[in-house]
Amino acid sequence: MRVIWRLPALKAVVALASVLLIASPVLLDSRTKRLIPLPSRDRNNRPAHAGDVAVAACTLDPVTNQCSYVAPGDLTLINALSTTLPEASPSQMKYLVMVADAPICNSPMEMDMTQIRTAYLGPNLDGQGGTAKFLEDCSYGLTTILPSAFQAIRVPITSSSQCW
């Protein structure tokens, strides 16, 4: 069974959390290396089989911020095992990071622009580290950040009327 992992926006946002379903009905979260048991049926009481594609949501434990189980109501089968998935095509992302600098709102920038570029592109600013490497790894190399097109800009907030 291939599983598309989706966490509801109000519960958690995880960028491209990749998971792999092994032979038994368990998810292996490749980010945390934890096994998460899966129900044998989805929310519509359809049995889950090897090769099925599903969307799984997980309510996070508020203390550990981890997923410990997927309830039957959290699993939705998308297609039967006879349907094939389309091949993914590579894409290069062109990022524009806008950082609000709002000391007037008691929210000054905590990082300078070099630190922000390093966080996204890695220490050599070549896309082989930081968020760029995480994105590439989690997409099996199909999604990358184009370092030459990466831009980070400071947006000054100069009036208290602009505070959020």
Task: Answer yes or no: do 47 and 5 share one domain.
Answer: yes
Q: What is the mean pLDDT of residues 91-114?
A: 91
pLDDT at 115 over 90: yes
Task: Answer yes or no: do 1 and 33 share one domain.
Answer: yes
Task: Answer yes or no: do 29 and 43 share one domain.
Answer: yes
Task: Answer yes or no: do 50 and 78 share one domain.
Answer: yes
Domain carrying residue 138: 91-162
Give the global pTM. Answer: 0.49
- Of 60, 86, 112, the residue at which a domain comes to its end is 86
Task: Answer yes or no: do 71 and 95 share one domain.
Answer: no
Task: Answer yes or no: do 76 and 11 share one domain.
Answer: yes
Q: State the pLDDT at residue 59.
A: 67
pLDDT at 89 over 90: no
Which of 83, 11, 75 has its CA nearest to residue 47? 75
Give how far Cα 129 sits from Cα of 43, 80, 121, 138, Å: 39, 38, 6, 13
Q: How many folded domains does the chain comprise?
A: 2
pLDDT digits (tens, 9 = 90+) for 47-83: 877 667 777 777 677 787 777 667 777 777 776 555 5
